[in-house]
Structure 1
């Protein structure tokens, strides 16, 4: 197991409890496992870890049914489209909550099933990444449409720009890292990880609140419940993605320009 995974960083999350509840704890650990989670992205993010654990039994069921990761991703997209339609058509707000829950759950299942069944994509096209961009963009636009408020449209536009720019700059950094010697890229990434100097509890909060991953999209659950909750959710998404952009720009500025072959 990866020595930097949350399993080793937080042993209390994995060791069996002693006493009369040890059997129940062991059973829950097997049912809600993080065995096939993407530990490379989890780090100190206990919220992300919890979401992977919650999705595990559903991923096992989908794998047992013979569903491929791309099929699960397609179902997640369909659920996101239904969630966006629920925002636009303005039925009961809980209809959006149900569809967005399904979309998020399946989003955590597709990668888990890929690692579980050893069906990780070998080609360069990342269907899951492209679908994430489409799902988030669609829901943000639908939120602006639902409330039909000038300020909300501005917040939605800012959130959409920030999210897409974050995606672009993240891919740019990944591409540059692949072209540079590991020593140069590694030292730059380490210098950009200032949060490593924080105490452990602060790193946990930082990972949950100031980083962008699947857990960030939990804020979308506020979108159908009025203008103020929707505005706060969109402002938060804008702030956290722009913060991520600034960190990545800082790292890119510290790296040399790769030579083109």
Structure 2
């Protein structure tokens, strides 16, 4: 975990409530402790599929680790059956990136944190991004589907508070966490890949709740959030995220 502190003033102006802060103090944390969990879902359309389906597909979590980078994404594999009684098969691999920022809050920010941002800085794909919107498996999704194949996909930041969580050792598998939505309203916690720049996401409530004395332990996830995840098509969008945590307070 790395941290930096600036007292003279922030590099940018931020609207916090109704107060525009020109001068403020900030502390930035980088290189969080990380881990990844993976699930595999398989579906068959009819009872005529015959023997059990035991697919073997690439694992997202088995990609080589990069310290401080958060791995997340999804892969879908669709195998259409033959007429007249087709056995359609779908496999969905999802990876949940789990990470933790922890450390000591600078004295100038203790009791003085006005805003906390998780900043999604960059994304390094481990597979080519190719996402196809096709007919959904299971209950229909409102709005239909476009049939397009696109080179962008969606993710969401959520929070979790698993007692005793520890970052994964290289190649180790973690359990999927029951994450919850951030306190911010609407789709403010969602973002698209590729990034158009640094994507800030407000995690002020989560940050304040994670503080004990002058230290904190903030746990978050990055998870795939895309309407094509259950499409009857082949898609891939997975990779490593660079993230950092920025704390901001009034310069008093």
- Where is the strand percentage greater, Structure 1 or Structure 2? 2
Q: Using CA pairs below 8 Å that are at least 6 residues apart, which structure has the higher relative contact order?
A: 2
Q: Classify the TM-score, shorter chain.
A: under 0.3
Q: TM-score, normalised by structure 1?
A: 0.24
- Where is the helix percentage greater, Structure 1 or Structure 2? 1
Q: TM-score, normalised by structure 2?
A: 0.25
Structure with the greater alpha carbon radius of gyration: 2
